[in-house]
Chain A
Amino acid sequence: MSFEDQVNGVGQELDELAEALQDFRLSVHGWSEAVYSRPRSSQSGTAVAPARRRSWRLAAGWALGCVLVAGSLSGGGLYEHRQQQMRIAAERVAEQQRLAAQEMARQEEEDLLAKVDSDVSRQVPSAMEPLAQLMTGDVSQ
């Protein structure tokens, strides 16, 4: 093959490549325009698959929604239950504290009364005992 033939061959190949690329571009443009301007619901050839996909998506969406609702409800119930438990525990602690305080007050009161009693019932000091005896004697006379 001569150099000229080789050059011609390469030239022809490049022309073919350029033409193929041009046709490829036109095809992609045509395809895109057709898909872009075509209403999605009227795609006869591919309408079934997207519709099926949509129904699956819808079903999956509903299922997920139900799971989330159930989860949030049960989660909410659990939260409510926890709150109630905590309220009861708090009330129990408050009651115990109240009883302890009452007991303490009662104890203090008793101590005070005991002290008063002991003060009131205290014997006459020994230095005053002769006088007391006299008083006793006067009364007996």
Chain B
Amino acid sequence: MAAGTALEAINMATAEEIAAEEFSAVVIKHRPQIFRFLLSSTRDVDLAETLTQECFLKAHRNWASFRGESSAMTWLMRIAINLQKDHWRNRRMQFWRHTQSHAVDMDEASEWLPSGERSAEQKLLARERVGQVAKAVERLSERQRTVFLLRYVEEMELSEIARTAGLNEGTVKAHLSRALGRVRAELGGRR
């Protein structure tokens, strides 16, 4: 009887250790991507870091309930999107104040464009185009921006975006189409 209880305790401890190791691996693998999505969504380094922390904290708390029905990435991204939404909903005014004071212009990202094998003129043109896209993205609605970033920055499939954002695929397509329309218009306005 006592031996059985001891064995159960050992098994539980082993299971907890395995779970902790699995979670650590998930954090190492997906943290940069979650941070990137939150950074591109909020354009605020501090806020993106805070929300990334919260995301993994929440994931850790609920790790036992994660059944692997979706990929860990989809699950984490869903948590990140919800955290971002909560942040908008609950602290709308504070968020705006925060965003306005600490967020950078999205077109700052164009400074990080790899030069590759482009001429100076091509590089300039490419940076200008990135800036135009960034401006259009800034002006998108929250949902359009989320869908756009998941598709064109994170390169997720439409079905995965639908699962992550809790939308059906048709809605995702519609948001994406409108977002692309804005981007095209912005790029078209350049000419």
Q: Give chain A's interface residues, CB within 8 Å of chain B.
A: 13, 16-17, 19-21, 23-36, 46, 49-50, 53
Residue in B40, B109, B111, B155 with the greatest tally of chain A CB atoms within 10 Å? B109
B59 → A minimal CB distance (Å): 18
Q: Which of B45, B108, B113, B132 contacts A26 (CB 8 A)?
A: B113
In the complex, the answer to whether A32 meets B129 with C-beta atoms within 8 Å is no
Knowing A17-B184, A24-B153, A28-B36, the reply to whether A34 touches B132 (Cβ < 8 A) is no
Q: Is the CB of B129 within 8 A of A16?
A: yes
Please determine whether B112 and A20 come into contact, CB atoms closer than 8 angstroms.
no
Chain A residues in 8 Å Cβ range of B130? 20, 23-24, 27
A29 to B36, CA, bound (A): 7
Instruction: Check A28 against B183 for contact (C-beta < 8 Å).
Output: no
Residues A32 and B187 in contact, CB atoms below 8 Å apart: no
Contact indicator B45/A24 (Cβ below 8 Å): no
Contact A24-B152, Cβ < 8 Å, known A13-B184, A30-B113, A32-B40: yes
The total of interchain contacts (Cβ-Cβ below 8 angstroms) comes to: 85
Contact of A32 among B39, B180, B183 (CB under 8 A): B39
Select one of A21, A27, A36, A53 contacting B32, CB under 8 A.
A36
A13 and B36 within 8 A (CB): no
Contact A24 B134 (CB under 8 A): yes
Q: Are B32 and A23 in contact (CB under 8 A)?
A: no
B35: Cβ under 8 A from any A Cβ: yes
